[in-house]
Structure 1
Amino acid sequence: MTLTLESILLLVLVAIFWGATNPFMKKGAVGIEEVKAKSGFMQLLQEIKFLFTNYKYMGPFLINQCGSVLYYFTLQTTDLSLAVPVANSLTFLCTAITGKILGESKIHKNTYIGIFLILCGTTLCCFDKMNAIQAESGL
């Protein structure tokens, strides 16, 4: 497997697709707790119907799933030990930032510290993997 700048950028794009859509899906799902049915199975069907007929939920959900498809294809050329932490950690970062932009809640200072640490850790993982690949190829 090789690591390229393109792979890293694709993983960042995946994280943006996943993270930026999470707060929108949360907003789109508002009201699902009002859905009631007589049995557990009918409750499940009613909730699925509620979500699938709600464009405020389905729009972000489809974008989120595009991120999953992109992630699947990116895994073909990217080392799994790098792809998973980069995509997942940056997803949390994108979710926090998007939530802040949407006014969900005030970001606590610990969240800012976490964002900084995520960026540092992700950068170190990428540099380490790139250095390991360069050492293997004798560059």
Structure 2
Amino acid sequence: MSDSAAPADPAVPADPGLLRWTLGFLLVGMCWGLTNPFIRRAALLYTPTPTPSHNPIIKLLHTAHDLLRHPSYTIPLLLNLTGSVWFFLLIGQAELSLTVPIVNSVAFLFTVLGDWWADGKVVDRRTWAGIVAVCTGIGFCVWGKS
């Protein structure tokens, strides 16, 4: 008697399923898009401390150290970089022609949300129309691959 179900190849990772892909795309898009307005605001409000040297390398290191001491800049930056690590992991397993447009589109949507949250910007109807167009485009991309 032979077993009809062949054992799974341990070298090939199992498909994580639609829910996990969706959560992965949303997390990366959120880390990229939602943090951009906060990074921008922190950079605009940043007042550098005087650099004790005229050496450009020392000035660069001093400025980087000075910026990283401010949590309003550092926390969003770390979240943004975390999204980049997750993106690297996603493109290693997901369909590349879906991952890149979906994640970048979702990042745009979260940037709009972040602008509203960080700066109180009003989302006008042209932006809402763009959001609908982006979501429609994502739907067409997924539909075309299924």
Q: TM-score range by the shorter chain?
A: 0.7 to 0.9
Alignment RMSD (CA, Å): 2.3
CA-CA distance at 1:51 after TM superposition: 1.5
Q: Secondary structure at the match of 2:119?
A: coil
TM-score (norm. length: structure 1): 0.79
Structure 2 partner of 1:63: 79
| Structure 1 residue 49, shift from structure 2 partner | 2.0
Match for residue 107 of structure 1?
Answer: 123
Matched, 1:10 2:61: no
Residue type of the alignment partner of 1:23: P
Between 38-47 and 16-25, report the one with greater CA deviation: 38-47
Are the counterparts in 1 of residues 48 and 66 from structure 2 also a CA contact under 8 Å?
A: no
How far apart are residue 60 of structure 1 and its match?
A: 1.0
Is the partner of 2:44 in helix, strand or coil?
A: coil
Q: What percentage of residue pairs aligned between the two structures are identical?
A: 28
**Is structure 2 residue 46 aligned with structure 1 residue 32?**
yes
More moved, 15-24 vs 44-53:
44-53
The alpha-carbon distance between structure 1 residues 51 and 31, as it changes in their structure 2 partners (threshold 3 A), is same
Structure 2: segments with no counterpart, 5+ residues: 1-12
User: Out of 78, 85, 93, which is 2:109 matched to?
Assistant: 93
Cα distance change on mapping 1:116 and 1:3 into 2, 3 Å: farther
Tell me, in whole angstroms, the C-alpha distance in 1 between the residues paired with 2:22 and 2:131.
18
Q: Give structure 1 stretches of 5+ with no counterpart.
A: 132-139
2:36 pairs with 1:22: yes
Aligned residue identity for 1:20 = L
Q: Distance in 2 between matches of 1:32 and 1:103?
A: 16
Alignment length (residue pairs): 130
- Give the direction of change, closer, same or farther, for the CA distance of 1:117–1:35 in structure 2 (3 Å limit): farther
> Between Structure 1 and Structure 2, whose CA radius of gyration is higher?
2
26-35 or 59-68, larger mean C-alpha shift: 26-35
Check 1:3–1:88 CA distance in 2 against 1; reply closer, same or farther (3 A cut).
Answer: farther
